[in-house]
Amino acid sequence: MFLVKLNFSNTKLDLRRSIFGYSKVQRIVSALIRNRIVFANRKKKGCYLDLGCGQNVSPDFCNLDYGWHPGTDICWDVTRGLPFPEGYVSGIFSEHMLEHIPFADALKLLAECRRILRKGGTLRLVVPDGELYLSQYCKHQGGNRACMPNADSDKTYFAIVTPIVSVNRIFRFYGHQFIWDYETLRLALYRAGFENVEKRTFGEGADVQLLRDTPSRSVESLYVEAS
């Protein structure tokens, strides 16, 4: 039996707030329903999938994430495959999720994305751009002015702020497991069975339904589509 004890001693309670709005409750719900197909709302065949939606859920998508939040349709560990039949979804959007799983698991996940994507459908991936960070670092080493993405956030974590600090932040913080560049992601997508891979930009792509890019992430992101 799954026994839990809710401790709200350090939590400011608000009677106007739903109990499911508290992160402690969300973590418990996640543990109870994760990878249980009976709790998975896969919506109808032909739906669009947001893979790693976080709290950015949309009623126009099937929202899948490792952690449950109000509006999450499927609470799932993607390293264990995706709970859809072959050719089930019309398109897949995934923003800043792929970097959170180990490289070998990411390769398997991309193959799973190809399996569940209908013929002619598009996978849109948005990840931190490792090449961007490293090229700016090399620019700095060459004596030129570098512009490290989100460098202001380094002050939150580090007493000293330099370009190599920014590189360490994006490679080692936030639970990141592997940071991609376009060359590596392109080869991984071909290996997964995709036939067409293209580098895209913020807010631009083959399927307008998949253009859910977060503006604040555009300065550091790599946008890639595969079909």
**Residue recorded with tokens 């669009």:** 48
* 20-to-91, 153, 173, 178, 226 alpha-carbon distances in Å: 29, 30, 28, 32, 36
This prediction's pTM: 0.89
Angle between helices 130-141 and 163-172 (to 10 degrees): 160
Span 190-217, average pLDDT: 98
Q: pLDDT class for 1, splitting at 50, 70, 90?
A: very low
pLDDT of 108 > 90? The answer is: yes
Query: What's the mean pLDDT when you consider all of the chain?
Result: 92
- Give the closest residue to 52 by CA, choosing from 37, 62, 40, 42: 62
pLDDT of 8 > 70? The answer is: no
Span 8-33, average pLDDT: 71
pLDDT of 3 > 50? The answer is: no
Question: Cα 46–68–122 angle (5° rounding)?
Answer: 30
- The CATH superfamily label for domain 25-128+180-226 reads Vaccinia Virus protein VP39 (3.40.50.150)
Q: pLDDT class for 31, splitting at 50, 70, 90?
A: confident
Q: pLDDT class for 35, splitting at 50, 70, 90?
A: confident
- Give the closest residue to 24 by CA, choosing from 41, 46, 2, 9: 9
- Give SS3 for 107: helix
- Give the closest residue to 221 by CA, choosing from 192, 199, 189: 199
- For residues 183-216, b (16+ Cβ closer than 10 Å) or e, as one string? eebbebbeebebeebeebeeeebbbeebebbeee
Q: Which tens digits make up the pLDDT trace of 64-74? A: 999 998 899 99
Instruction: Let me know how long the chain is.
Output: 227
Give the residue extent of every domain in the chain. Answer: 25-128+180-226, 130-175
pLDDT of 10 > 70? The answer is: no
